[in-house]
Amino acid sequence: MGVNSHGTHTATTAAGNYDTPAEVPGLGVRGKVTGIAPAARVAAYKACWHDGCWTSNTTAAVDKAVADGVDVISYSISGGLTTSTSMGAMFNAAKAGVFVSSGAGNCGQGTVGNTAPWITTVARETDDTGYTSNLVLGDGRRFRHDKLQAAAPTAPLVDAGDVRKPDADAAQATLCAPGTLDPGKMKGKIVVCNRGGNLFFEDKVKAACSVALALANTATSSQDFAHYVFGLPLIQLPHADAKTVKEYAAGSGATGELVSATAPVRAPQITATSSGGPAPYSGGDLLKPGIAAPGRLVLAGTVPGGALGHPDRFGFMSGTSMATPHISGLAALPQSAPGLQPDHAARHPFRRTGGGHSRRGEVHPARRTGGLER
């Protein structure tokens, strides 16, 4: 269900089997996982390909799902209000009594997508367990990335430009582009690469015997952070931190190590990158997103050896795509509520479950200042 595990991960989050043993090799993570609605049946429709999710395909998939008699549509794909998928297919689905949930997006405040009134638009929030990876420099300075990643022992820290092949293009070498780095110079080292190219989908330096990778956001690159677990230990650095790390790596005897840890975090709390309102087509009159669910480092099914390098059948992924199937699974549970159409049976109780306190009993800042009372 998808070479990058996206479909597999969302489907197993919504309706994975009950009490399934799960383990992520190399991370020491093991236990049992259960989908939100483990007794539900899944109908999966192929709408996305290597070149994206074309509107003609997503519209056809939603139409076919409604024709097949599904009760819930979980749509972990970005979308605007004016597409035929949203205005046509999803409107018809809701009119037929099908519950439709979709992700708000992952680009921060003022960028919310999937804003049609008949769609339950889902933001992502934290769970109460936080996973962190830290790059610890030889001088003791630490740089944190909120993700779970295999550790890497202390090793020399080098900039990719300093271990390139003599005939390699310097700009491409800073991106760790294939064939630009000297395996002999890289062996046993932590390499700092600039972000760019296709680095997120293959461990380009693994074969060259690098111990780990520090991926540096640049002034011109995307500034978001990937929460996938890669086959090679990898930590991402924001632009300001990357400059500091590169300056240190340029010095004599520079070293680093990657250390992972877990710690309790405040939850539930909307993540910084979860897309928020106001909804652009309503002038803010329509409140979107309307609900939130866990979407940070969610453990669910994956495709072993797929494009994201998941080592086995389970892995962590993040985003509103991962939050959406939590709501979709919940929507599958009350379908037998007497006197209610399935769509209303699901939507009615959800929006009355929010409280003003975290799981530890702390008052949320918005509630304390009255922001949720208006």
Work out the average pLDDT over 19-34.
Answer: 86
Position 335 confidence tier, pLDDT thresholds 50, 70, 90: low
Q: Sheet containing 99-103: give its strands across.
A: 72-75, 99-103, 120-125, 291-294
- pLDDT over 90, % of the chain: 47
Residue for token pair 């709501």? 327
pTM of the model: 0.75
Choice between 56 and 308, residue whose per-residue pLDDT is larger: 56
Average pLDDT over residues 316-339: 84
- CA geometry: angle at 22 spanning 49 and 301, to 5°? 10
Encoded amino acid at 356, one letter: G
Q: Which residues pair with 120 in a beta bridge?
A: 101
Q: Which amino acid is at 313?
A: R
> For residues 132 and 146, is the Cβ–Cβ distance under 8 A?
yes
Q: Containing H/E element for 21?
A: strand 20-24
Least confident interval from 119-133, 253-267, 325-339, 347-361 = 347-361
Task: Work out the end-to-end distance of the chain between its first and last CA atoms, rounded to an integer number of angstroms.
Answer: 43
Grouping H, G, I as helix, E, B as strand and the rest as coil, residue 262 is: strand
Q: In the structure, what pLDDT confidence band is assigned to residue 201 with cuts at 50, 70 and 90?
A: very low
Query: For residue range 27-72, what is the model confidence (pLDDT) as tens digits?
Result: 777 899 999 999 999 999 999 988 889 999 999 999 999 999 999 9
Look-up: residue for tokens 């797929």? Answer: 306
**Which CA distances in Å does 87 have to 78, 83, 114, 230?**
14, 6, 10, 38
- Give the three-class secondary structure for 150: coil
Q: Which domains are present in the chain?
A: 6-126+266-368 (3.40.50.200), 129-264 (3.50.30.30)
Going by C-beta distance under 8 Å and a sequence separation of 6 or more, which residues neighbour residue 325?
Answer: 10, 11, 13, 14, 36, 74, 76
Residue pLDDT, tens place only, 233-243: 888 898 999 99
Q: Indicate the DSSP class of residue 326.
A: H
CA angle 154, 160, 163 (to 5 degrees): 90
DSSP letter string, 261-283: EEEE---S-B-TTS-----TTTT
When pLDDT is averaged across residues 88-94 and rounded to a whole number, the result is: 94
pLDDT per residue as tens digits for the range 241-288: 999 999 999 999 999 999 988 777 778 889 888 999 888 777 778 889
- Flag the least confident range among 246-250, 254-258, 352-356, 367-371: 367-371
Please give the structure tokens belonging to residue 192. 């700092």
